[in-house]
Structure 1
Amino acid sequence: MLAAMPPTPTTPPEPGEAPIRDRGDACPGALRLHAAADGLLARLRLPAGRLTSRQVRVLADAAEEMGDGSLSVTSRGNAELRGLRDGCGAGLAALLADAGLLPSPTHERVRNIVASPAAGLDGLGHADVQLWARALDAALCAEPRAAALSGRFLFALDDGRGDVAGLGGDVTLVAAPDGAVLLAAGTETFRLAAPGTATAAGAPAGTATGTTAVRAALACALAFLDAAEAAGTGAWRPRELPAGQHPDWAAALARAAITAEPVPSSSPPPAPPPPAPGPLGDRALHVLAPLGRLTAGRLRALAEGADEVRLTPWRGVVVVGPSADRLPALAAHGLVTDPADARTGVTACTGTPGCAKSLADVRADAARAPGGPLPVHYSGCERRCGHPHGTRIEVTALDPDTYLLDGAPVPRTALAEAVAAARTKPMES
């Protein structure tokens, strides 16, 4: 049950065709561990990135006692434990279950929900989508069919500030300023109305409650499963379905007794730049994890006195409860608390020696990245695992001593200078 996962082969599609996947999704989870070059890896789904202070301390203990002493924050605000020793699976599962981090063993890999991390904290959003995320998680775990979703299927819940709407969700909910909710599924967009309200072309759809939004998101996820089964291509996400075989989203919403008015679709909004570290309203702080890694010591520092901790898709952490005077203490633990810190906006994949596919120790080079306004991502190979969404500089290893930057090879000895120039030049629109 906890053995290493085999690779997931696919049948290469012709240009423009949808992929045909010959096996189910092999994405790692908390119970399905992945054998990496540095030991076993467990990926924990954390809807909206939310953790209690006790859960943070449990993960710190697990990282020290079973893994490499650190926790990695993913581009979906989930968590990874790396360097896990052989035979630790059962003990890890028991530890996570006791901490409330495994509410459904059958659904643990499909709880992929990102939500605006600052929702309910700074007064900028139109709804507290953190509450929606908890309700959606419960609805997913209570629906047996939802366990068939791919571990890559993503729900994005945006409170209207636009921070997660552009992160490539398969089903995206956006709170509107008039109390309505916009739902994007595939290439279609709908305006949702609360139960009992009517819609008409060009008329307001009424107020859609969080309950309505959650029911709509689940209905669309199940509609995708129906379409994927009918297509028979093993699609993991709606964008992989063959042309002409996409779900009838409107019919699925109607069957769920949800009033939904189609609205003109537009291109997905661009992902905004990562939010800067610092105070977040008067109730929270936002800090960044250097290269997405939180040592056990950093985890315990974050948990100290916190009401709640939220991991973010930008490999940061929102700490709910403390005041801004805790920033110096967190900075002393090596967390990024200053927007001017050169580490802001720098991300990297695992690289060597942790990943056997990597061609270089990209984390070592990323740690020396010069500062600049544009984000930069270092990749150990052309797969570019863990890259952020939105505008960024891509630095990709070609071999241990050469990187690809702006389409040209750059010797490792000249990389810092080249990255400094790239991070400060205007990007083409």
Structure 2
Amino acid sequence: MSASSSSPRSPGDACARSSGDACPGTLRLHRADDGALARVRIPGGVLTAAGADTLLDAALRLGDGELHLTSRGNVQLRGLAPDCGPELARLLSGAGLLPSERHERVRNFVASPLSGLDGLGSADVGPWLTELDRLVCGSDRAADLSGRFLFALDDGRGDVDALGADLALLARTGETALLRVGPTDAVLRLPADDGPRAALLAAGAFLDAARPTGAWRVKDLPDDEASALSGAVVRRLRDAGIPAAPDRHSRPSGARPPAPGPVRGRGHEVALSVGVPLGRLDREQWRLLSGSGELRLTPWRGAVVSRVVPERVDGLLGALSGAGLIVGPGSAWAGVGACIGQPGCAKSLADVRAQAGAAVGPAGRLPVYWSGCERRCGHPHGEWIDVVATPAGHRISHVRGDRTTPAATVRDDPAALAAAVAAARDARTA
């Protein structure tokens, strides 16, 4: 099938700062149809036990009682009262989840969730994550970044490098790293120990380039500014004493989430990769996950439970599966995602979560994402089946990177819609 020239655009693609950065946080709540919404940034998805307990406490006391995972490994609390901000901030601050009020919406870091656990990456990005968060929270300039700006810390396996970050640090074997600035195959090779500082300096160079145009993200820069950005980053790094050499490293064609199930590394302990249907966790599911070991939330609306002793693995897998979570191959929910839809979002044309559930069948080859409107909030990256509610029904198309196949529209017939989605997920096109 032929492909169109562009892929679906996300709500962050608009570049005019004059409209205001409306990204929600914990201090700036978003008004939704189901109450106020708070987005709690969890750098790298890494949660302490105290942080996990506090998030659940906030959801139960102030919200709808559920924790909603995002496509950046963060947590959203929904159904909040519009005046709960001070109480929420107090709770989060006490658990270390709000280290800097000025920077709370710019701590957008995704990291390879299995880094340091399975022995497959070139290096453990955990130290990078800790240092970059410290540097960003200590930088007055970084507070000017948009809530949409994204840092990625990839341990070399190419998983989060495929998520379209504005700045990506890529681990390599030895003592070097690569820094990717924007959606390009061009990278800068630099000392690994300087990686976090280089990323912060590159973010400053972006802010300088964005000032005349009001761009939120690197991909929103006009062509001239985007072309000049790499050179500006090199000069800034060299002025700071960081040697940087131009290089090339192809971007991954698609994101590769951890497969659900046990993850065995070099040591005695085991990690468990767990999928979360539609990214929504109730009290019992959250307690089961967070009480089982150290928790890492993934950018694919899942979780990795680390440091599980082997003797507990089988029992824990059974408990997680019994709670409705995905712990192995073949789950009908694997690869199924959706935005919040009706009744939570005023812009949505349909209850897409209910529709996604009604259409669940045998696991498909490709992931599918259901959106209630053209904004496609939280859509995946790489290759997926795009299902969008429209006034005429549901439009189904096949997205591959920056290309989209011609779409077919299915009227509001649940059986026909489920059959069309299943066929699209298993279709193989050239």
TM-score w.r.t. the length of structure 2 is 0.88
Identify the match of residue 382 of structure 2 among 387, 390, 397.
390
Match of 2:219 among 239, 249, 267: 239
Verify: 1:423 aligned to 2:425, yes or no. yes
Q: Is the 8 A contact 1:48 1:77 kept in 2?
A: yes
Alignment match of 2:206 (pick from 217, 220, 224): 224
Deviation at 1:108, TM superposition (A): 0.3
Q: Structure 2 residue aligned with 1:405, among 387, 396, 401?
A: 396
Cα distance, 1:67 vs structure 2 = 0.8
Deviation at 1:276, TM superposition (A): 1.7
Match of 1:41 in 2: 37
**Offset, 1:19:** 4.1
1:284 aligns with 2:264: no
- Alpha-carbon distance between aligned partners in 2 of 1:340 and 1:25, rounded to the nearest angstrom: 40
Alignment partners' CA distance in 1, 2:161 and 2:35: 34
Aligned counterparts of 1:228 and 1:271: Cα–Cα separation in 2: 28
Q: In the TM superposition, what is the alpha-carbon distance from 1:85 to its structure 2 partner? A: 1.6
More helix by share: 2
1:12 alignment partner in structure 2: none
In structure 1, C-alpha distance between the alignment counterparts of 2:14 and 2:72, rounded to whole Å: 24
1-structure distance, mates of 2:393, 2:256: 28
Corresponding residue of 1:303: 290
Q: 1-side partners of 2:242 and 2:67: how far apart?
A: 40
Q: Which ranges in structure 1 are unaligned for 5 or more consecutive residues?
A: 1-16, 194-207
Shift of residue 265, structure 1, vs aligned partner: 5.8
Give the match's secondary structure for 2:97. coil
Q: Give the partner amino acid of 2:423.
A: A
Q: CA deviation at 1:122?
A: 0.6
1:351–1:363 Cα contact (<8 Å) kept: yes
* Kept in 1: contact 2:36–2:81 (CA 8 A): yes
Counterpart-to-counterpart distance in 2, 1:166 and 1:331? 29
CA distance in 2, matches of 1:132, 1:80: 25
User: Are residues 304 and 182 of structure 1, via their aligned partners in 2, closer, same or farther at CA, if it must alter by over 3 Å?
Assistant: same
Tell me, what secondary structure is at the counterpart of 1:219?
A: helix
Contact 2:187/2:249 (8 A) holds in 1: yes
CA RMSD of aligned residues (A): 1.6
- Greater Cα shift, 310-319 or 62-71: 62-71
Q: Which has the higher contact order (CA 8 A, sep 6+)?
A: 2
* CA–CA distance in structure 1, aligned partners of residues 274 and 14 of structure 2: 40
Q: Which runs of 4+ in 1 moved over 4 A?
A: none
Q: How big is each residue's C-alpha offset from its partner over 1:288-335, in whole Å with a ceiling of 9 and x where there is no partner? A: 1110111122111112141x2110001000011224221111112111
CA contact (8 A) 1:38 1:355 kept: yes
Instruction: Give the deviation of 1:273 after TM superposition.
Output: 3.7
Which sits farther off after the overlay, 182-191 or 358-367? 182-191
User: Is the Cα–Cα contact under 8 Å of residues 273 and 390 in structure 1 kept in the other structure?
Assistant: no
Amino acid at match of 1:408: A
For 1:280, give the aligned amino acid.
V
Report the CA distance between 1:24 and its aligned residue.
3.1
Q: Match of 2:233, as an amino acid?
A: W
User: Matches of residues 110-189 of structure 1 in structure 2 within 5 Å?
Assistant: 110-186=106-182, 187=184, 188-189=186-187
Check whether the contact 1:117–1:130 (CA below 8 A) recurs between aligned residues. no
325-334 or 374-383: bigger deviation: 325-334
Q: CA deviation at 1:18?
A: 8.7
Q: Distance in 2 between matches of 1:360 and 1:421?
A: 22
Partners of 2:390 and 2:334 in 1: CA distance: 25
Structure 2 residue corresponding to 1:257, chosen from 241, 249, 253 = 241
Deviation for aligned residue 1:275: 2.5
- 2:403 corresponds to which residue? none
On the 8 A contact 2:15/2:216 being kept in 1, the answer is: no
CA deviation profile, 1:17-72 (whole Å, cap 9, x unmatched): 99443133111001100001110000011110010122112111211111111111
Deviation of the 1:424 alpha carbon: 1.1
CA contact (8 A) 2:395 2:410 kept: yes
Name the aligned partner's letter for residue 200 of structure 2.
Answer: L
Question: What is aligned with 1:347?
Answer: 337
Q: Which runs of 5+ in 2 are unaligned?
A: 1-12, 398-406
Kindly, what percent of the aligned residue pairs are identical?
54
SS in 1 for 2:162: coil
Out of 331, 336, 352, the residue aligned to residue 362 of structure 1 is: 352
- Corresponding position: 1:88 with 2:84: yes
Q: CA–CA distance in 2 between the matches of 1:364 and 1:131?
A: 41
